[in-house]
């Protein structure tokens, strides 16, 4: 029963969801719409759980484990500041927008921008023509990089069209094959779940 009931629920929900995509039915479509709304409620609850977990983890670090106390304190203070301002004034208030634009945006952008430096270093170390295939990859990478920046066209007028061709033809062919492969994989996984053969998502799977 511990296994059969969740399997039965999964199968019923999956069949309804798949059917809703293909069938127009006055009974089925509103039912699935309500089921989907339940997902929104669960997502909101998940955010709540995440908040509780964040507070617990950082309070534990400060009081029990006594590791990274300063970082945890900063996290909790920043969290409290955003929650208080957001709850009292609303996230559309100019003060909240000011906090967002002057704290979160620069910090997050800086973190992302730093990855550019590591990517430059990684490209220098990893892009080595160790084989013919690696040389082709290297060449394609250089052409696409030049095609992405105005300097490519200044150096050689054909760079943008060559770069576009690489993106349009070999890249698109590869990505479409990848997407099709993923879709077929998902379809087979869905069939396994509907027929009860896939049990990996049931925690222990016993």
Partner 1 sequence: MAKKDNLSERLSKIDNRVIFLLLAICLGLPLLIPIGLPLGISTGTSSFYKYVEGLPSGSLVACVYEISASVSPEVYPQAVAVTAHLKSRNLKIVALGFSVTGPMFADNAFRDVFGASREHELYGKSFVNLGYIAGGEAAMKVFATNPRMVEKDFYGRDTKDMQILQEVSSPKDFKLMIVYSGDWMEPYVRQFGDPHGVPIASGVTSTIVPRIMAFYPAKIKGYLTGLRGAAEYELLVKRPGSALGGMDAQSAAHLLIIGLVIAGNAGYLVGRFRRKEA
Closer CB to partner 1, residue 76 or residue 82? Answer: 82
CA 57 to chain centre: 23
Rounded CA-CA distance 187/201 in Å is 16
The residue (of 59 and 80) whose beta carbon lies closer to partner 1 is: 80
Find how far residue 96's CA is from the centre of its chain: 25
Q: How far is the CB of 141 from partner 1 (least distance, A)?
A: 8
Q: What's the longest Cα–Cα distance across the chain?
A: 70
H or E element: which one contains 196? none
Q: How far is the CB of 153 from partner 1 (least distance, A)?
A: 6
Q: Is the CB of 26 or the CB of 205 nearer to partner 1? A: 26
Token pair for 193: 């779940």
Least Å distance, CB 198 to partner 1, is 20
Give the nearer residue to partner 1 in terms of CB position, either 9 or 97.
97
Q: Answer for the pair 91, 104: CB distance below 8 angstroms, yes or no.
A: no
**CA atoms of 76 and 55, how far apart (whole Å):** 7
- The nearest distance, CB 31 to partner 1, in angstroms, is 12
Q: How far is the CB of 65 from partner 1 (least distance, A)?
A: 29
Q: Burial level of 79, CB count in 10 A (0-12/13-18/19+)?
A: middle
Of the pair 72, 159, the CB lying nearest partner 1 is at 159
Record the tokens describing residue 173, joined without a space: 């062919």
Q: Kindly list the residues in this chain that would bind partner 1 in the complex (CB under 8 A).
A: 21, 29, 33, 36-37, 39-40, 43-44, 47, 90-93, 97, 100-101, 104-105, 107-109, 111-113, 116-117, 120-121, 123-125, 127-130, 138, 141-142, 145-146, 148-154, 160, 164, 167-168, 171-172, 175-176, 179
């Amino acid at each position: 029963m511990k296994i059969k009931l969740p399997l039965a629920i999964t199968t019923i929900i999956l069949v309804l969801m798949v059917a809703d995509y293909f069938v127009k039915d006055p009974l089925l479509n509103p039912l699935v719409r309500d089921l989907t709304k339940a997902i929104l409620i669960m997502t909101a609850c998940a955010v709540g759980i995440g908040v509780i977990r964040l507070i617990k983890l950082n309070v534990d670090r400060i009081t029990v484990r006594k590791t990274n106390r300063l970082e945890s304190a900063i996290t909790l203070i920043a969290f409290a500041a955003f929650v208080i301002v957001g709850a009292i004034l609303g996230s559309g208030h100019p003060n909240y927008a000011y906090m967002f634009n002057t704290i979160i945006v620069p910090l997050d952008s800086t973190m992302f921008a730093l990855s550019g430096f590591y990517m430059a270093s990684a490209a220098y170390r990893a892009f080595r023509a160790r084989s013919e295939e690696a040389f082709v990859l290297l060449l394609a990478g250089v052409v696409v990089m030049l095609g992405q920046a105005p300097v490519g066209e200044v150096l050689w007028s054909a760079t943008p069209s060559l770069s576009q061709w690489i993106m349009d033809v070999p890249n698109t062919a590869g990505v479409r094959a990848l997407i099709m492969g993923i879709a077929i994989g998902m379809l087979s996984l869905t069939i396994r779940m509907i027929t009860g053969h896939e049990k990996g998502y049931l925690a222990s799977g016993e």
